[in-house]
Amino acid sequence: MERDIAEIDGLERAVIEDVEPAVDAGRFPAKRVIGDVVRVRADVFADGHDAVAARVLWRKAGSGDWRESHMEPIGNDRFEGRFTVDDLGCWEFTVEAWVDAFAGWRSDLAKRIDAGQDVSIPVAVGAGLVDEAAGRARGASAKRLLGWAARLRELSGGRSGDPRTALADELAGLMTEHPDRTHAVRHPRVMPIEVDREKARFSAWYEFFPRSTGPGVQHGTFATAAEFLPYVRELGFDVVYLPPIHPIGHSKRKGANNAVEANPGDPGSPWAIGSEEGGHTAVHPELGTLADFRAFRERAEELELEVALDVAFQCSPDHPYVTEHPEWFRHRPDGSIQFAENPPKKYEDIYPLDFETAAWRELWEELREVFRFWIGQGVRIFRVDNPHTKSLAFWEWAIGTIRDEHPDVIFLAEAFTRPKLMYRLAKLGFTQSYTYFTWRSSKWELTEYVRELTRRPVVDFYRPSFWPNTPDILTARLREGGRPAFVSRLVLAATLSSNYGIYGPAYELMEAERRDPASEEYRHSEKYEIKDRDVDRADSLRELIARLNGARRDNPALHHTDNVTFHPVDAEDLIAYSKRDPEGGNVVLVVVNLDPGHRHAGFVDLDLSALGVEADDVFEVHDLLGGGRYRWRGPRNYVELDPRVLPAHVFRVRRKLPRARLASAPDPL
């Protein structure tokens, strides 16, 4: 397409390309948490050999004036700048670049001086550039620049001084602060950054059913669930996640083990939402009242636990929406409402909402009000059931408007679906997401999957949450591997990802009986019946879980997911990886035996630079799970893990041991 020459500034010579972080070229925001330093990189160059300079411009969205910071060259025409996000919500940045006449002059002058050439004329040219900068400066900076211009003119006249004076860092710094940006080029796209609170990046979730907290198999209440909270806190979790707490439908209610017909007294599935007692903004009367729920939430907060609620946009046949808004559901040719199906499975106790209804605007607004209602009850975290089966445009609109009002709200997507759809949901606003970790078990699978999640561009928008089990999923590894498998999967989830969760008490009690050979569903699933469990059982994993969560809490290296380094091990069933916190002061090394049935040993070939260890350093690794301490030297070190004892090491690395410690250190075990 021909451009009008009148619209072109032929003196704009700088080029800006490949700006990051950028999600789909800036269509969606990159994600950070409050206090993060955002590293902005871009390719910046111009025709010829002239030097270029660049700055990153940033601001809180809607705040007006841009703030700026200098970008430094890092090689191959790539520049990097940084800024800190210190408030929740949407931020934005862009990059500006220009031909830097002074930097080019300075580089050429140094070469001429080194070659022994006469530099009087080049120094005079430099004096003119400094004079121009003084005109752009104000106050003390202007006076200092005028002084420098005078000194350069003296140098150019050959009256006195060393011409290398013109290369002084002080002058270069002043010129960097007052560049000539008359013909600067600004990148045409403003890149958004969504800033969340810290819990978006680092959290440990514990899921339990409040109705299973009563005595025996009596229906629990919010009051009995509140009595269970100290146990959850003792385990070291910081988010307590409740399945739907709403009234449960009676029509087509499922019985135990997903039986098509329920027996008298069967409680039904909490995901069959709605009855004559209310819908998505009501609570199941056997659990209590809204006031009882608020008391439960307040008790959780006293224990430094945050409550997450399940939001499942689907209805039982008894939901008030069915009679009040039949247009929100899809109808079959006989006029009846279409129930949920995943052929050959039928879910007659659930009616999906029709996001293609002609009344979609009214439906959208009603569903957004569900979130607003529970936000009004003090909830700031939501786990969303099957969001990939609802309108993507709805999620972008609903989450965007809610976060405009409440930027501290966190959304976890329960989307076990195709990767691109999972990623799209994250781009549209979901803070965290369930992942395929649940089914990744071999060394190769785990390594490749974590590398996929921690590479750009995925790492800029997708925050994985690793769950080894859910009420719907009992994997083959847990079914067949016994206690060692439960321990190893727990350690992998809690240390590979900074966000993880378990469905308990099923997990710590190692429940592993499946409904039938072709299913991943639990036998006697809690989705359809009330459970009576003894969390004080002697074989429970509760103490180990508490130690592991304590290690997560106390080691900043485990507060991030994108800092994983894998280390080769010469045993296929041993996996080793480390994490180092961004400040570099804390390093954790994890080694896991992936085979629950056999002892394995081998040598780990450590990337010492990833640990911050020099080649000749003697360093100590302290096992935060087993308690042992080992003295290691160099990159190649021996490990041995018997799953019958403990299938994993979670080492804190202590680098550069003091000499007194070296003299008394025990030999490696």
Q: What is the DSSP string of 510-578?
A: T---BSSTT--SBTT-TTTS-----TT-TT-SHHHHHHHHHHHHH-GGGG-STTEEEE-BSSTTEEEEE
Mean pLDDT over all residues of the chain?
A: 94
CATH of domain 208-316+371-538: 3.20.20.80
Separation in Å, CA 308 to CA 27, 439, 490, 503, 549: 29, 24, 21, 13, 19
Spatial distance between the Cα atoms of 445 and 564, rounded to a whole number of angstroms: 15
Closest by CA position to 194, among listed 501, 402, 16, 498: 402
ω before 344 within 30° of 0 (cis)? yes
Question: Cα dihedral sign for 300, 304, 305, 306?
Answer: positive
**Per-residue DSSP letter, 470:** B
pLDDT at 10: 81
Residue 204's H or E segment, with its range, is: strand 203-207
pLDDT at 657: 62
Question: Is the distance from CB of 548 to CB of 650 less than 8 angstroms?
Answer: yes
Spatial distance between the Cα atoms of 461 and 463, rounded to a whole number of angstroms: 7
pLDDT at 346: 83
Residue written as token pair 């301490």: 629
CA 574 from centroid of its chain's CA atoms: 26
Instruction: Indicate the fold that domain 1-99 takes in CATH.
Output: Immunoglobulin-like (2.60.40)
Spatial distance between the Cα atoms of 558 and 563, rounded to a whole number of angstroms: 9
> Measured between alpha carbons, how far apart are the two ends of the chain, in Å?
72
Residue written as token pair 């087509």: 252
DSSP of 582-636, one letter per residue? TTSS-EEEEEEE--TTS-EEEEEE--HHHHT--TT-EEEEEETTT--EEEEESSE
Where would I find the beta strands (DSSP E) of 392-453? Answer: 410-414, 432-434
**What phi and psi, each to the nearest 5 degrees, are found at residue 145?**
-65, -40
Same fold, 208-316+371-538 and 558-664: no
Residue written as token pair 């800006």: 16
Question: Is the distance from CB of 444 to CB of 566 less than 8 angstroms?
Answer: no
**What is the number of helices (H) and of strands (E) in the chain?**
15, 29
Residue 80's H or E segment, with its range, is: strand 78-84
Question: Is the distance from CB of 587 to CB of 652 less than 8 angstroms?
Answer: yes
Radius of gyration, CA atoms only, the chain: 31
CA 556 from centroid of its chain's CA atoms: 15
Q: How many residues does the structure list for the chain? A: 669
Helix, strand or coil for residue 436? helix
Spatial distance between the Cα atoms of 553 and 238, rounded to a whole number of angstroms: 10
**What phi and psi, each to the nearest 5 degrees, are found at residue 46?**
-145, 170
pLDDT at 347: 87
Residue type, 510: M
* Span 460-479, pLDDT tens digits: 999 999 999 999 999 999 99
**Per-residue DSSP letter, 348:** T
CA 147 from centroid of its chain's CA atoms: 51
pLDDT at 156: 87
Query: What are the residue ranges in the chain where pLDDT is below 50?
Result: 660-669
Task: Spell out the domain ranges in the chain.
Answer: 1-99, 101-178, 208-316+371-538, 558-664
Q: Which residues are catalytic?
A: 385, 414
pLDDT at 667: 41
pLDDT at 1: 65
CATH of domain 101-178: 1.20.58
SS3 labels along 111-172? HHHHCCCCCHHHHHHHHHHHHHHHHHCCHHHHHHHHHHHHHHHHHHCCCCCCHHHHHCHHHH
Closest by CA position to 133, among listed 146, 123, 121: 146
Closest by CA position to 479, among listed 532, 533, 517: 517
Question: Cα dihedral sign for 463, 469, 473, 478?
Answer: positive
For 431, how many CA atoms within 13 A lie in the half-sphere containing its CB?
A: 28
Question: Is the distance from CB of 458 to CB of 449 less than 8 angstroms?
Answer: no
Pick the CATH number of 558-664 from 2.60.40.1180, 1.10.486.10, 3.40.50.300, 3.40.50.970: 2.60.40.1180
